[in-house]
Amino acid sequence: MLKRILKYFFVAIAICYSLFALFVIPQFKENGTCSGIIVNISDCDIKTITDEEVMDILNEANLTPELKKMNEIDCGEIEQHFNNISLIKECQVYKGNKDFVNINIDCREPIIRIHDKENKTYCVDSDGNIIRGINRALHLPIATGNIVDSMATKEIKDIASAIKESKFWTAQIEQIYFNDKKEVILIPRVGDHIIELGTTENVNNKLEKLYTFYHEGMNKIGWNKYSKLNIEFGDKVICTKRD
């Protein structure tokens, strides 16, 4: 009985693979000429690259497969070129049906813009990766001050991720400033005050405490009474009255 079951099982696998090979695995002629390129870019809130820019990159690197013989196209070389671009998380290239070359791109999604102490500008994603070469305006909070590249994976990522997770702070925070001690000062859109956050340690707890103060305190006493709010210690908000 067991042998019979195993026999049917392997026959079923063979049939499934045959169907997969027939209908799913792309079919192309190795001696055919590339008919064109199909670009697929992953959906995300902020699209950092367009189909047109993908074509421009291919042309500039002399890697465009169009009009080449299918057996002369090196998909691995194209993948490697795109995977070396910082705004691309992953690129997959393969030869598909009707002699088309497919380029699938998964982009990194920026969550903050950086203007560092050396006047370099770039973005950082939620994993702390630095993204360069974005050629369009982005509606993101901006971080300035004493910033170096090594801060991207910790301090920058921590504060930017905490802000992005909250609709309130995404709308409220306009600018993030780092001083020489890597302490954070937040510049809000609403309210004539600054927020001294201290370091980015326990940043979520600090912002949660400040959110409570905003809604239970500032809504009653007014948003312009204080010039400075200090949440450095996390368990309390220290307010400085306006002169």
Residues 8-35: tens digit of each pLDDT? 444 455 455 444 444 444 555 566 888 8
Q: In the chain, how many domains are there?
A: 2
Q: Of 48, 72, 107, which residue is a domain's last? A: 107
DSSP state of 69: B
Residues in the chain: 243
| Same-domain pairing of 129 and 199 | yes
As a whole number of angstroms, the distance between CA 52 and CA 56 comes to 6
Same domain, 55 and 120: no
Query: CB-based contacts of 157: which residues, under 8 Å, 6+ apart?
Result: 124, 126, 127, 128
Tens of pLDDT, residue by residue over 46-67, are 778 889 999 999 999 999 998 8
Q: Domain range for residue 51?
A: 27-107
Residue 13 located in a structural domain: no
pLDDT of residue 7: 43
**Residue where a domain stops, chosen among 88, 107, 126:** 107
Same domain (yes/no): 132, 220? yes
Q: How many CB atoms lie within 10 A of CB 11?
A: 10
Per-residue pLDDT of the chain (243 residues; tens, 9 = 90+): 544 544 444 445 545 544 444 444 455 556 688 889 999 998 777 778 889 999 999 999 999 998 889 889 999 999 999 999 998 999 999 998 888 999 999 989 899 999 998 889 999 998 999 998 887 778 889 999 999 999 999 999 999 999 999 999 999 999 999 999 999 999 999 888 899 999 999 999 999 999 998 888 777 777 778 889 999 987 788 888 877
Residues sharing a CB contact under 8 Å with residue 122, sequence separation 6 or more, in sequence order: 113, 114, 116, 130, 131, 132
**Do 181 and 160 reside in the same domain of the chain?**
yes
Instruction: Please check whether residue 21 lies inside any domain of the structure.
Output: no
Residue 94 and residue 74 in contact, taking contact as beta carbons nearer than 8 Å: no
Give the pLDDT score at 13.
53
Does residue 20 sit within a domain?
Answer: no
Of the three residues 51, 84, 107, the one that is the final residue of a domain is: 107
Please give the pLDDT value at position 63: 94
100 and 162 share a domain? no
Q: Is residue 10 part of a domain?
A: no
Residue with tokens 């890697």: 63
User: Rounded to an integer, what distance in angstroms lies between the CA atom of residue 21 and that of residue 136?
Assistant: 42
